[in-house]
Amino acid sequence: MYVGPLVHEFQGNTTIAKADNGHCYYLFRTKMNWFEAQIFCKKQKSQLLQINDQNENIWISMVFPNVRYWIDYTDIGKEGCWLTFSSGRDEYSSWYSRRPDGGRIQNCATNNYLSQLGRWDDVGCHDRYPSLCETSGSES
């Protein structure tokens, strides 16, 4: 399903890639908190990255390596109940070993923890990281 990016370009602090499922992915290196990242992606007519399965996680990690960024995965509603905020579902996770470890203090997820591609860590939602926004093919 996922092969190499069809488009991979750089515009300032933004890197854009298009997957052959029609989705476009935008890495914005400007650091912001998780709530700002959610709003920022909406304003770009996209949504904060949902990683729905292992294929997508591997692909996204290959295309955007060596950077830690927010993903749409949180347990802010109920401690320990991790889910994708925009869908309300928990379909897939790829935690770094012994993560999540932050209890009630860390309720939002980042990818590529300790440069381990595709491995997630929970951090404080008000910490500041780059954002990865995703659009579906029909919207772009």
- Per-residue tokens: 132: 């990865």
Tell me: does residue 55 bind Ca ion (CB under 5 A): no
- Per-residue tokens: 6: 């069809």
Instruction: Return the ∠ at Cα 121 (arms to 80 and 35), rounded to 5°.
Output: 75
Amino acid at 61: S
Nearer to Ca ion, 51 or 123 (CB): 123
- Span from 35-43, 57-65, 85-93, 106-114 in contact with Ca ion (CB under 5 A): 106-114
Binding mask 68-87 for Ca ion (x = CB under 5 A): -------x------------
Answer for which of 121, 125, 129, 130 binds Ca ion (CB under 5 A) is 121
Nearer to Ca ion, 72 or 122 (CB): 122
Answer for which of 9, 53, 91, 101 binds Ca ion (CB under 5 A) is 101
H or E segment and range at residue 121: strand 121-123
Nearer to Ca ion, 64 or 120 (CB): 120
Nearer to Ca ion, 56 or 75 (CB): 75
- Per-residue tokens: 43: 């304003």
Q: Transcribe 3-18 into DSSP letters.
A: -S-SEEEEETTEEEEE
Tell me: does residue 67 bind Ca ion (CB under 5 A): no
Tell me: does residue 107 bind Ca ion (CB under 5 A): yes
CA nearest neighbour of 77 among 99, 107, 37, 103: 107
Q: What is the dihedral angle through the alpha carbons of 125, 74, 36, 7, rounded to the nearest 10 degrees?
A: 120
User: What is the binding site for Ca ion (CB under 5 A)?
Assistant: 75, 101-102, 106-107, 121-122
